[in-house]
Amino acid sequence: MSEPVTPNPAGREGAIVPPRLRPGDVVAVVAPCGPPDPVRLARGMRVLEGLGLKVVTGAHVLDRDRYLAGSDAARAADLQEAWCDPAVAGVFCARGGYGATRLLDLLDWPAMRAAAPKALVGSSDVTALHRAFAVELGVASWFGPMPACATISDPEGPDAESFGHLASALFGDPAPVRGDRVIVPGAVTAPVTGGNLSLLAALCGTPYALRARGAIVFLEDVGEAPYRIDRMLTQLLGSGALEGAAGFALGSWVGCGDPCPVLEERLAPLGVPVIAGLPVGHGTPQFSVLLGAFGAIDAQSCSLTGSITGSVEAV
């Protein structure tokens, strides 16, 4: 059985840190976004089983509807069933790809709030679920590698650094994530929010839009030219989504050319600590970050240290 949920301090509303997983726990793999490759998915599930976890799948995990992993209703049903099942201790998203935003109006949020909090793991398009879970459920969630993606399901075995960091994140305390560039020096401790830049831009104007005030904002993306990164950052700035941010931790920008000049141009004037080059996002290695929990930027060591020891105000 998993550990008890960490209580909110002084009864304050906030992001509840999910309990750590333990060997023997049941975890469910669902596909809320794009369709996973069956071979990669099976390989990734065996990797999770190697951690001592009992892995089950959603009924529609191998469905396909064009670029989606089945119909919206089927994908939403799998996700909701896994979250509401008291026997399930964690929910892994099989892969990213487009589709998560289409589910947000189909989930029965009152029913999901009534369920015990548990680990949600995913990245890329799963950013939409991270934001919705923060707003609707007040639960912190893991931005990390997924079982049908290369870092876990490579034929030669999972990337050792990525897999080791994910395991320590799920079962214990993960090591700090270190970057390679300081854009604005400083140090700050605050809740961590954010995710994939394209998804955060797409969520502007919705109930799940980014709210950065008082938070460290994590950002990453893949396959976006610098001018597109500029456009999305400008959109977030213009919408007020980044107003009051306490700091920025910038992850991988695979296939994005050299985004550092535009990232510095748009974020440095905000006058808060900014570190870059963290191995979190679409690259390899792919480390894990707990969105919603307190984290600490230390520019001196160019690191983001996460925490799973307490509850924080939802962001």
Catalytic residues: 124, 220, 282
Residue 135 burial (C-beta neighbours within 10 Å; 0-12, 13-18, 19+)? middle
The pair of structure tokens assigned to 122 is 């995913």
Q: Respond yes or no on whether the N-terminal peptide bond of residue 285 is cis (omega within 30° of 0).
A: yes
Comparing CA positions, the residue from 65, 117, 61 lying closest to residue 94 is 61
The two counts, helices (H) then strands (E), for the chain are 9, 14
The token pair at 41 is: 């998915």
Q: CA–CA separation, 153 vs 147, rounded Å? A: 6
Which single residue is written with the structure tokens 């709030």?
A: 113
Site of tokens 């394209």: 198
Q: Nearest to residue 89, comparing CAs of 5, 160, 157?
A: 5
Give the DSSP H or E segment for 151: helix 150-153
Q: Name the token pair of 13.
A: 């509303």
Helix (H, G, I), strand (E, B) or coil at 147: coil
Token output for 104:
């947000």
